[in-house]
Structure 1
Amino acid sequence: MARDLKKEIKSKLQDNIMQDALSRFADQYPGSRLKSYAGQDIEELRENLRCMKADAVEHIEELADKFEANVKARGGEVFRAKDGDEVKKFLIKICKENGVKRVVKSKSMASEEIHLNECFTENDIRVKETDLGEWMIAIAGQKPSHMVMPAIHLNRYQCAEMFEKELNEEVPGEDIPYMIQKARQTLRQEFLQADMGITGANFGIAENGAIGLVTNEGNARLVTTLPRIHVVLIGYEKLIPKTEDAAKILRLLPRNGTCQKMTSYMTMVDGPTPVMYKKDGKWVEENRKQYVILLDNGRLEAAHDPVMKQVYQCVRCASCLNVCPIWTLVGGHVYGHIYSGGIGAILTGLLNGIENFSQFSDLCIGCRTCTTVCPGKIPIPDLIDELRNRYVKKHGTPTMDKSFFDNVLNDRGLFHKLLLKAGSVGQAPFKSGKFIRHLPLFFAGMTKGRSLPTIAERSIRDRMPALEKKNPSNAKKKVAFFSGCNTDFVFADTGENVVKVLQSLGMEVVYPMAQSCCGKPILGVGDRETGKKAAMRNIEALESVKPDVIVTSCPTCAETLSETYEKLFADDPVWGPRAKAFCKKVREFSSFVAEEYKAQGKLLPAAGGEKVTFHDSCHMKRGLGIYEEPRALIDATPGVELVEMKNCDKCCGMAGSFGMKYSEVSIPMLEEKVQNIKNTGATTCVVACPSCMMQIGGGLDNQNTGIKVKHIADLLAEKL
């Protein structure tokens, strides 16, 4: 049955309880995480973990063999399962051989991945989750919405309803200690009567066959020590070489997962231990049986993939979810399978097929916030881009996307001379200053929650011949201006100000008319072949003017031109060297200007004045690593005073086509950004990205705030 993702998202956005829970958590998490790392060098810890896990995946079969040998040496049995079906067949066989009727489980995402509980139920085996969150959502018939906190989407009163359903008694929702006590009493009988206990593992140590369990409730210890059979379900990605390597995980996992220096329980299990149980009415003592199941289910193929093997650096802390602006709005269930968020999209693609991945892959907006907290330093957006590319290779680019790019964005003749000229005339009845606040009929949704900027009457390419005549006679450098689509056709005034600022620095500015879209829109959907064509066109266009520097006022274009182009042609003997030389010349506007100002002695703090605030675009701060330079320029601008806003680097919700395709998610992100701007008391919000300028400007105008939005080039040009 086909999913209606937009309908599911709308339902979650209207779930006020979930919205309240996730927004409070998202607001508190970053500060709590940093507090738990006090006195620690976070980057050194992250790098140590990344190196250890990266080395482990290179020797995964060797580690698996060593782990298996050491588990067996300590009296355990090992079964290597190709997929979930093999796991379930093996476990049902073990249950029948040992008369297992009751099973208790501690939290295991791998067991959720293969739908293990359903298998037990179908075979008349009683199975109970013992993690409190898992226990409650199992009662409700739900799946986890988070890898560490499976019931984070619920409040105490909803939890009380689940208790009442299970216990058949009234449970006061405001009394959390009472609920916890009732859960303990109920689950205690499950522990005592269980024949088999099943756990996952946070890691498995090859040198001694031990597994590690990191918990806060103690249920995992009971699951491993009370039943006469202990089953460990562990994925290959959890294997590490040595005991000392566990410390690399333990220093990061609790801090990133639950903002604790260490969880309440850290359990190591290295083989079966004695157990007392009743047999034929008598108490007997013997060693419990231990079965360790190594689950593949696509993991080994990923381990040998030169790109996707980086997923082995994941320790399942879910910190990437905790900071994801999309996940914290829509929750985990809309992702359609077990794993959610950006890492969930990747795991779904690797473990459950690229077709399942494609259903929600565009919920990753590439803001890269996840990469700043991931303990294993996984480049999650890059891996998602890789899977998108593989999907396109297998199934082709969506016709609408390819047609729009080829025939509109990449055809400047059609786009400029026909569509934009017509649009400039057609927008006249709906204009209100520089914005369109309302559109008629089926276009109305485009202006719900934000205004749209008007199309420039004269594009930057129309203005450049006159602007080039104002170039200084004795130029210091020859600068090729790459405008990008928005600056060319929407924010042409900003483009003109870019030229003026560069000329004031003694630069000769030229504009190759053959330049086109940077290619990011089509690259974003995974079509690298079409993206290469755009790259070739732009490389040829800008090479033709022989510039010293290529400057763009769009960070997205800057990242694409300076980094992506080189990667696209890495294996091309002809275009590879050309792309590399091209990429070295590309500079983002504010960083280039700040460098020149500093060299000319102009980057000095000026007296205060009008309050302005600054929004960091995602591609600029986390893609290019540029965030100090624009602030230095603002500080050096006479008559303004910089006031920082809350979450200045949180995505504004535009994210290219995402802002239009998923406006129901984009608008709440925008509303949060607008509120943070208003709270500063600033009269102007300065940005360095045309897309952010479009989104934030539209939000400020829609709410009639009176606050202006300006590109940093506009601010600088006004003060020349």
Structure 2
Amino acid sequence: MAGKEFKQRIRQALNNASLRGALGRFADSYVVSREEVYAGRDFESLRQRIAAIKADAAGRYEELADRFSRAVEARGGKVFRAKDAAAAREYIYQVAKEHGVTEIVKSKSFASEEIHLNEFLQERGINPYETDLAEWILQLMPGERPSHMVMPAIHLPKEEVARVFSRYLGEPVEPDIKNMVRIARRELRKKFLTAGMGISGANIAVAETGTIVLCTNEGNARLTTTVPPVHVAIVGYEKLVPSIKDIVPILEALPRSGTAQPITSYVTMITGPVPAWRGEGEGIKELHVVLLDNGRTRMAADPVFKEALQCIRCASCTNVCPVFQLVSGQVYGYIYNGGIGSVLTAFFNSLEDAVDPQSLCIGCRRCAEVCPAKINIPDLVLKLRERVVTKQGLSSGYRIALHGIVAKPKLMHTLLRAASRLQGPVTHGQPMIRHLPLFFSNLTSGRSLPAIAKEPLRDRVKRLEGRTDRPRLKAAFYSGCVIDFAYPEIGEAVYKVLGREGVQVTFPQGQACCGAPAVYAGDRETAVKLAKQNITALEEARADVVVTACPTCAVALKKDFPELLAGEPAWEERARALAKKVKDFTELVHELTGGQGKKVKQAKKSGSRAVKVTYHDSCHFKRHLGLDQVARQVLKEQPGVELVEMQESDRCCGFGGSYSIKYPEISAPILERKLKNITESGAEVVAADCPGCVLQLRGGLDQKGSSIKVKHTAEVLAALENLQGGGNSK
């Protein structure tokens, strides 16, 4: 579980209305602006080019570093290769000491923050001044942390900035933005003219020419790199690209993905030392480039995490992250934040430092969808989680739940059956649990939970498995735990719909949990064990197709099983054979009806009206399986359905499996936003293809006393005539 200090930072962020409001407003406008700025461009092709360039570079850092060093030195510059943060800091200090520097101006640089340069120099009598406006404001606020990688002070209202300026100047400053910018310009200009050294980072470093490229929206970086007599650029190895042509796709994507601009205000390319100017006559200023390793070559040698070095630091992943928009970068604890930040922290700091930050990822996959470098951030976070567990072990709670119960299907099913008989005191005879006592109370804060079914699906299937003469297909139904023990009526709907399509459905009794809870907890041992149990059970069904009505289970069967069993040839082959048979329920219905839905249509009753149905895109269903439009087409074909779109239909509902249990304080506001969008759609029914999302949405609407029903798509297709009318019962 997350540490107390980390939990405290989360609570502080969630209680900071200014921070949440600022990040939320930016994120809302960003999505629209990003879509507009990429209009007419082939984003997929662009990101593939960037990924190829960066992946190639990561495979030969030493070679590129050699070429870059020769090119810089041939033009009179100096290159120092820093193995770690300590070496980088010491080199910069010695250069400053050699030139008698007491004041330094800095443009925004993640690398300088990564090595904690400011504190190091201050301890040695050298004063570094941030000149990026946001960074300067934060520097004037001791203890304040950046809230965003690109816009560090986005959380500060103008009134707070005015108070900061008033304290700094010792005189009242009105919260007028234009005037405060003039004040910043006036104060910082003094520093540019007196500083003995300027320090910058770099967005790109070209090995072919020794060029460093800076992309900024303020003129401070150009002043930092041109006015002082000494310029030091701190450049991480991951900024290296082979040739000058390689900067083109990065420059095309960086501003569009970062701030939804077609280009930044300033694109600066520095190739070797530049002429000095400060009224000192002719001469060339000194250029020092610190090539920073600090874990990068170790990451490049790691076949799993090498991919993270493709990052171009645009922060688009955090711009669309529903969790980040609530807690901000201030919570993560280190320089790089968001999902990608937790991976970088594990290598640039330590695995221990990444333990808490990585746990914030809810796995919605929006980041992977927008990343211009095509980094599969959610999967990297899961791999990181697995390494954390390998090194530190599971928490006692997870160990008991996963090793002791989930990995033992018979015991788990016995416990669930017992719970269904003993749940009366909390269900009060109702299908929903609206309140839990004591320290369980936060689980029903903002949402109700489903009661455990008195009769699970596995006990009902004997009444459902009728023989079909000359069936079109023989299907094995993999229900998953939620449908089996919480929503067996979804399983019954699957049987009904597929049955009238001529599909003979069976339920392999040996099936167990798909292992997703173990995968998301980093428990590879349990996940492997469950994969083997399920493969054996589903093989015994000898079915033409394995159908599931849970996208998380579908991803487990299709993707996770082969990956978990890679290296065990016999099992891997069996896993891949199974994966080829797996179909999502709605996907299969679409294929069986030829996309027309003719056989699942119900006769429209005379005088009946269409039911307004809105569709919630489950994260795995859309972003892993890519079936969001298939579901809409199937629903549109129903004669009694009027499909209405809600705002942000593909935004996470906040469930995330055990995430809503581990971080209920984060899950709740994500759910609240989703419920608001559902209500404003005017729909009577919400359709979804994920039982977990059904649980979350149904529970949230139940707590509000809403009459809007939440149904799995299978239920919509099976019983359209029952959708009219109120209630959110099972």
TM exceeding 0.5? yes
1:694 counterpart = 2:700: no
Letter of the aligned partner of 1:71 in structure 2? V
Equivalent in the alignment of 1:157: 159
Deviation at 1:430, TM superposition (A): 3.0
Counting only pairs closer than 5 Å after superposition, residues 145-294 of structure 1 correspond to structure 2 as: 145-173=147-175, 175-277=176-278, 283-294=280-291
- Other structure's SS at 1:305 match: coil
Further displaced range: 563-572 or 640-649? 563-572
Q: Does the CA contact (< 8 Å) of 1:105 and 1:129 recur in 2?
A: yes
CA distance, structure 2, for counterparts of residue 513 and residue 538 of structure 1:
10
Percent identity of equivalent pairs: 48
Output one character per residue of 1:649-670: Cα deviation in whole Å (capped at 9) or x when no partner. 1100000000111111101011
Residue 645 of structure 1 pairs with residue 639 of structure 2: no
Among candidates 507, 511, 520, match of residue 507 of structure 2: 511
1:599 is displaced (CA, Å) by 6.8
Secondary structure in structure 2 of the residue aligned to 1:275 = coil
Q: Are the equivalent residues in 1 in contact too, given 2:423–2:451 (CA < 8 A)?
A: no
- Taking a change above 3 Å as real, the CA distance of residues 311 and 601 of structure 1, as seen in their structure-2 partners, is closer
Whether the aligned pair in 1 keeps the contact of 2:614 and 2:643 (CA below 8 Å) is: yes
Q: Which range moves more in the overlay, 90-99 or 672-681? A: 90-99
- Matched pairs, number: 714
Report the alpha carbon displacement of residue 285 of structure 1 after superposing the two structures with TM: 3.5
Match in the other structure for 1:578: 574
Q: 1:478 aligns with which of 474, 480, 487?
A: 474
SS at match of 2:94: helix
Amino acid of the residue matched to residue 275 of structure 2? P
Q: Is the 8 A contact 1:603 1:633 kept in 2?
A: no
Deviation at 1:428, TM superposition (A): 5.2
What is the alpha-carbon distance in structure 2 between the residues aligned to residue 168 and residue 13 of structure 1? 32
> Within 2, Cα distance between the matches of 1:382 and 1:111?
28
Please identify, of 606-615 and 186-195, the stretch whose mean Cα deviation from structure 2 is larger. Answer: 606-615
Q: Which of 137, 142, 145 is residue 143 of structure 1 equivalent to? A: 145
Name the counterpart of 2:19: 18
* Aligned partner of 1:368 among 360, 365, 368: 365
- How far did residue 441 of structure 1 move? 2.8
Shift of 1:439: 2.2
Instruction: Flag structure 1 segments of 5+ consecutive residues without an equivalent.
Output: none
Map 1:296-695; keep pairs closer than 5 Å.
296-427=293-424, 430-431=427-428, 433-468=430-465, 470-598=466-594, 602=598, 609-695=610-696
State the Cα deviation string for residues 577-611 of structure 1 (Å, max 9, x = none).
11110111111111111111217862899987110
The separation in 2 between residues aligned to 1:397 and 1:441, in whole angstroms, is 25
Give the aligned residue type for 1:618.
Answer: C
Task: Measure the CA separation in 2 of the matches of 1:187 and 1:211.
Answer: 24
Post-superposition Cα deviations, 1:285-317, rounded to whole Å, max 9, x if no partner, equal 321111000000000111111121111211000
1:39 has 2:36 as partner: no
One-letter amino acid of the counterpart of residue 559, structure 1:
V
Q: C-alpha deviations, 1:157-198, integer Å up to 9, x for none?
A: 11112222222221111x101010110000000000000000
Q: 1:276 Cα shift?
A: 3.8
Work out the CA distance in 2 between the residues paired with 1:231 and 1:603. 70
| Between 473-482 and 324-333, the greater mean CA deviation after superposition | 473-482
Give CA-to-partner distance per residue, 1:190-234, whole Å, 9 cap, x none.
Answer: 000000000000000111101001001110000011000000000
2:117 match: 116
Q: Is contact 1:255-1:261 (8 Å) kept?
A: yes
Report the 3-state secondary structure (helix = DSSP H, G, I; strand = E; otherwise coil) of the residue aligned with 1:611: strand
Change (3 A) 1:600 1:136: closer
Displacement of 1:61 in angstroms is: 1.3
Structure-1 residue corresponding to 2:726: none
* 1:431 positional shift: 3.8
SS at match of 1:285: coil
Q: Which moved more, 1:154-163 or 1:619-628?
A: 154-163
- The amino acid that maps onto 2:503 is M
Q: Is the CA contact 1:130–1:219 (under 8 Å) kept in the aligned structure 2? A: yes
Report if aligned partners of 1:594, 1:603 keep a CA contact under 8 Å in 2: no
Following the alignment from structure 2 to structure 1, what is the Cα–Cα distance between the partners of residues 600 and 218?
55
Shift of 1:415: 2.4
Mapped partners of 1:226, 1:272: distance in 2: 12
The TM-score normalised by the length of structure 2 is 0.95
Q: Give 1:628 deviation, angstroms.
A: 1.0
Q: CA deviation at 1:461?
A: 0.5
Q: How far 1:418 sits from its partner (Å)?
A: 3.4
Structure 1 residues 163-172 or 18-27, which shifts more? Answer: 163-172
SS in 2 for 1:648: coil
SS for the counterpart of 1:480 is strand
Q: How big is the shift at 1:638?
A: 2.3
> What are the Cα deviations for residues 359-379 of structure 1, in whole angstroms up to 9, with x where unaligned?
221101111100111100000
Say which is worse superposed, 148-157 or 532-541, in terms of deviation: 148-157
Shift of 1:407: 2.6
Deviations 1:685-708 (A, max 9, x none): 111100000000001110111111
Which runs of no fewer than 5 residues in structure 2 stay unpaired? 722-730
The alignment's TM-score, normalised by the length of structure 1, stands at 0.97
Q: Could you tell me how far 1:48 is from its partner in structure 2?
A: 1.4
Opposite residue 453 of structure 1, the aligned amino acid is: P
1:603-640, CA deviations, whole angstroms, 9 ceiling, x for partnerless residues? 89998711010101101100111111111111111211
Give the counterpart letter for 1:154 in structure 2. L
Give the Å deviation of 1:261.
Answer: 0.5
1: CA distance, partners of 2:257 / 2:411: 50
Residues 696 and 662 of structure 1: is their aligned pair in 2 closer, same or farther, counting only changes over 3 Å?
same
Q: Distance in 2 between matches of 1:473 and 1:410?
A: 38
Distance 2:168 2:415 in 1: 66
Q: Secondary structure at the match of 1:575?
A: helix
2:458 aligned counterpart, secondary structure: helix
| Aligned equivalents of 2:97, 2:218: Cα separation in 1 | 30
Query: Offset of 1:126 from its aligned partner?
Result: 1.4
Residues 431 and 454, structure 1, Cα contact 8 Å, conserved in 2? no
Aligned to 1:51: 52
Alignment correspondent of 2:705 = 704
Alpha-carbon distance between aligned partners in 1 of 2:512 and 2:197, rounded to the nearest angstrom: 64
Cα distance, 1:80 vs structure 2: 0.3
Deviations 1:373-431 (A, max 9, x none): 11000000111111112222222233321321233223332222334333343235534
Q: Does structure 2 retain, via aligned residues, the 8 Å contact 1:654–1:691? A: yes
What secondary structure, in the 3-state scheme, does the structure 1 residue paired with 2:282 have?
strand
For the residues of structure 2 that align with 1:277 and 1:180, how far apart are their CA atoms? 25
Secondary structure of 2:359's counterpart equals helix
1:209-265 Cα shifts (integer Å, max 9, x gaps): 010010011100000110000000000000011111111111000111111111111
* CA distance 1:718–1:187, change in 2 (3 Å): same
